[in-house]
Every structure is written in structure tokens, then in C-alpha cells.
Amino acid sequence: MTATARRVAVLAAASSMWLLAGSAAAEEPMRCYGYAEGDKLGRMDSGKIDEASGMVASLDDPGIYWIHNDSGDDERIFAVDDDGTYFGQWRVKSADAEDWEDIALGPCADGTWRCLYIADLGNNKGKRDDFSIYRVAEPAVDRDRDKAHDGDTERADEWRIVFDLDADEREQLDIEAIWVDLDGTIYIFAKYDDGVDMFAASPPTQDEGDADVVARWVGYRDDIDFVTGADVSPDGWRFILRNDDFAWEFVLNPSFATTAEVFTGEEPLKTLLRTERQGEAIAYTPYGEGFLTTSERTERPIYYYECLSFDGPVPTDGKEDNAGGGGGAPEDSGCAGSSSPLGLFWLLAVAALLSGSRRLRPQRS
């Protein structure tokens, strides 16, 4: 069964369970214990997407993914399906595109989770000291159009990101990854060949308009390098980072007081990624049962990595778990049935979306 067909089945079953999900706010994290080897779903079928650098799933329109190109392109975003089917482009009003590196979903001024956050933070040449993040309302996608959409978004807010560093340190920043937490905090990741820095910025999310926003350093790891993409799961419990070879998933464990402590103190789940030519983008599916990746170059494939178990460690048959490859899901892993823990998780997550709940995880102080 394809990923799209599986989601259709889950949606049908979940339509009768939304009341259950609406009352089942998760107080404990949903931890994935291992991911299957990446399954190729398709490739970008539009030549306009020639350097896919950022990717995020729509929660308002499950099945749609928002993508943008890397530096050198215009200020535009694209809508595709998980197999690469192209639905159109939208130029982002009042935005510039010096070096867009990632895209995330976050709160709008009215508190709804229907805004896209676009990170114009790239600094590959090491000569930049002006950085911005644009917030824009997520456009509606008409999948039944005869021709792909070609138009504009609403006006974007610009937040000028001021890193709490001296001038020399700012010029050395090379940032390619962000994700947005429940309270609107933006987590920003600077890549190096020997580690990764995490910064936190708290923009005035309830206000419309442009503003200067300070980003403060909150943590560093030396066992993760060259980070090129990030995302947060729909239930809010997990966030994931990637480089060209691996993905690292963190769980916001309640025993840690802050997200920064999770980042610096938790051992993440490490997953080997399929070979991509300059792979940068990563995005959870709208139901959180897996994630997608894609790359900047030539073929631009889309790979899907499905969680093998939310119920306990995955048997490895003497092999390392998918820090060394993962194989397909075992027959009893629950990947096909709604009565298993993973199937139930799909139902609850989708039902929460249907009932208007953005996340299942309570806010952290």
C-alpha cells in the first residue's frame, strides 16, 4: 500500500474517533524506536523545483508539502504532493530571497497554526550579517485546477533576526535549519564540520508587522555536523535534524526542563538516510508516522521513512537498528493495521487534526 493510500484509509477510520482524540492530550512523549529504510515515493515533477532546500507538511491540507529552492531563486514557494506532483507556485509578497534555507510551520497572529516561516538565513560565503525570517499565511491549494497555480501569497511579516554575538561571530554563522515550538519559539541551527549550535528566538507571534528579534545561543553538540534541515512532529513531542547522511531524532522528554537541555543532554535516534546528491530538506508527515526527505540536485527523489514501532525497541536480528540501514517493517510492526499501537497512533493523530487540534503535546514552561 502506498503512503497516500494508507493515509486515505487512516482518515476514513479516524473520522469516527475525533472525540476520543480531542480528549486524549498526550502527557507522555510518543517515541519512535526505529525507522524503516527509505522508500522512494516519486520525484519532483516540475523543473521549477531545481534546488529543494526546505520542506514542511501542511496540517491544514494533509498531503500537501511546501517547498522552496536554495539561494539564487526568486521569493517563491511551491506546493507538491508526497510523490512530487506539482500544484503550483506562490510568490511571497514583501519578501526578499537572498539565501532561503528552510521552511517551518508555526502560529499566525491569530494563534492558528496556518503560517509558514521561511528562513532567509543562509551564509555560505561567510560575509553576511543581516538575517531574516518571513512569516506568511499558508495559501489554499486547489488540487482540481486544470493548470498549476501561479500567483501571490498574502503579505509576509519580516522578522530581522539579530544574533546575540559579536560581528565576527555573526559572519561565521552558516544556518540551514529551523523549527517552531508550541509557544512560537524558533529554534535555529548553525552548521559546522565539527558540530552544531542551537539558537532560540522568540518573535512577537501575536502581533502583525515587521520587527527585530534577538536570537540567543542555547546549546552545542559535537557529535552532529553539517545540519541542513530540521522539523518538529505534528504531536510536538519530537524534533529531527539531518545532514547528507543521517537524521537525528530527539524526544522532548518531560524529565528535561527545557528544549535546550534535551538537545544537549539526550541521546537521539540516529537513522541512516538514502544516498542523495546534496540532501537538505526533511519533513514529518502530517500524521507523524514517518518523515520525508528530498535533495537539491538532478533527480530530486522523495524518500519516505516509516516508524517501525512506537511500542518498544525494534528487533534487529543481529544488525544495528537503522543507524546502519533498517530494512522493511516486520509483519507484526503495526504498520498496516489500526488495532496496533502504531495504527492507533495514526488514528489519534489524524482525528486530532480533524477536530482542529494543532498538537497533542502540552506546552512546556
Average pLDDT of span 190-197? 93
Contacts of residue 26, defined as CB under 8 A and 6 or more positions apart, other chains included, come to: 235, 237, 360, 361, 362
Question: What is the per-residue pLDDT across 199-209, written as a single tens digit (0 to 9) for each?
Answer: 999 988 788 88
Q: In this predicted structure, what is the pLDDT of residue 313?
A: 87
- Is the pLDDT confidence value at 191 over 60? yes
Question: What is the per-residue pLDDT across 128-172, written as a single tens digit (0 to 9) for each?
Answer: 878 999 999 999 999 988 899 999 999 999 999 999 998 888 878
Confirm if 105 and 180 have CB atoms less than 8 A apart.
yes
- Rounded to the nearest 10 degrees, the angle between the axes of helix 341-354 and helix 3-14 is 70
Angle among Cα 139, 143, 146 to the nearest 5 degrees reads: 115
Question: How far is residue 236 from each of residues 48, 232, 294, 359, measured CA to CA in Å?
Answer: 32, 6, 22, 6
Torsion, Cα of 320, 321, 325, 329 (10° steps)? 130
Question: How far is residue 234 from each of residues 58, 89, 175, 324, measured CA to CA in Å?
Answer: 10, 24, 23, 26
Q: List the domains of the chain with CATH numbers.
A: 3-354 (2.120.10)
Q: In this predicted structure, what is the pLDDT of residue 280?
A: 86
Q: Is the pTM of this model over 0.75?
A: yes
Average pLDDT of span 210-226? 95
